[in-house]
Amino acid sequence: MSRVSDTLASSLPVFDGPRMRLDPRHTGFFADPYPAYGAIHDQGGAVFWEDYGHWCFAGYDMVSKLLRDKRFGRQILHVASREELGWPEPAAHVADFDAIEAHSLLELEPPAHTRLRTLVNRAFVSRQVERLRPEIESLTNELIDRFQADGRTELISSYAEIIPVTVIADMLGIPREMGPQLLDWSHRMVRMYMFGRNRQTEDAANDASRAFSDYIRSIIAERRKAPGTDLISHMLTAREGADALIEAEVISTSILLLNAGHEATVHHIGNAVSTILGRGLNGAAIFSGDDKATERAVEELMRIDPPLHMFTRYALADCEPVPGISVKKGESIGLMMAAAGRDPKQFPDPDAFVAGRADGTHLAFGAGIHFCIGAPLARLELQIALPILFRRLPGLKLAEPPRWRDAFHFRGVEGLDLIW
């Protein structure tokens, strides 16, 4: 195999046939993974990523099909034992984090997933979410009012973070002043999905999981005494026949909605603004058309730089994900959703921003049974937050290059300094 320099200086893959070496935490890679994705597409779109130790798929058709393929699942212990898989016993120091994951919609498979999603889904259908439009418009304008006269702002902390966490907190019936604490718990928990996490990360995530669970449990106790119209009250009273959610499921679902809901939209906003300003595009012009034009522009921004880059699944039996590639039961595969969005076989001139692109069908929200339950809400937030930002601040530009998070799987800006 060709060798990388002593410090792994290149952010491009090193290939040996279908095998690939590429450090997911190389600063050049997580700051801009798209040249590497182009190289993977040139190799055919399927590689064995040695740093992860499993096959990864970047081709649009491959990813789209495998997201829907019932031979693969987010969990494996329902069809295989830890002993069979060669897994150690669960680590005691992450027991609180694992307790939340055990009932997470993101980690379950049918029939448990079907039951839980059915009970929660009603709150996130498009017609329900659309009712939030006036509230989101008011919030975005209020936030811009706070910094417009300053002539500069760090957009993630002053705008992008606040919008989704406030909206989700309102939906759940959690006080808005809890926003900073919710963000802290969420940030510590999502670091568990980073490549190469360590014991310090795990301890911090478990502490956050315990505190977060205790807080949601206290809210549940209040809602049992005095139900409201919020989502936690809805989950406590939701029924499908004789079925209902247990308390652990309500806790896990509330935390998932807060974590996944706000993390994704924060980075959708940050990545979209970085794309527009970094390419010298005219944001006000992009969003100057009608609602349909805005919707198409938002979809293209989600295609060109989405937050979620890797979604893993387990093989539920020995099989071939694609012809000629074999995996064994219990092995993981990686679905490179952002790379699929730059597949030249699906999207002509894939690196270009084309606001009215005819085929805007991307995989930023996944596909199949794990298609993002909050997609209608995320779309609405983007369709409001981006146009209002560029309309209110038409002279918007980068004060310095965006600072990207060291988190390949969930790409986003941690610092976006703007001036106008």
Predicted confidence (pLDDT) at residue 333 exceeds the cutoff of 50: yes
Query: Domain spans of the chain?
Result: 75-312+350-419
Predicted confidence (pLDDT) at residue 378 exceeds the cutoff of 90: yes
Instruction: Please give the CATH number for the structural domain made up of 75-312+350-419.
Output: 1.10.630.10
Which tokens go with 326?
């074999």
- What pLDDT, on the 0 to 100 scale, is given for residue 81? 92
Contacts of 275 (CB under 8 A, 6+ apart): 281, 301, 304, 305, 353
- Quick: pLDDT tens for 123-182: 777 677 888 999 999 999 999 999 999 999 999 999 999 999 999 999 999 999 999 999
- What pLDDT, on the 0 to 100 scale, is given for residue 260? 80
| Dihedral pair phi/psi, residue 96, rounded to 5° | -70, -40
- Quick: pLDDT tens for 281-326: 999 999 988 899 999 999 999 999 999 999 999 999 999 999 999 9
DSSP letter (8 states) at residue 173: T
- What pLDDT, on the 0 to 100 scale, is given for residue 118? 85
CB atoms under 10 Å from CB of 341, counted, come to: 26
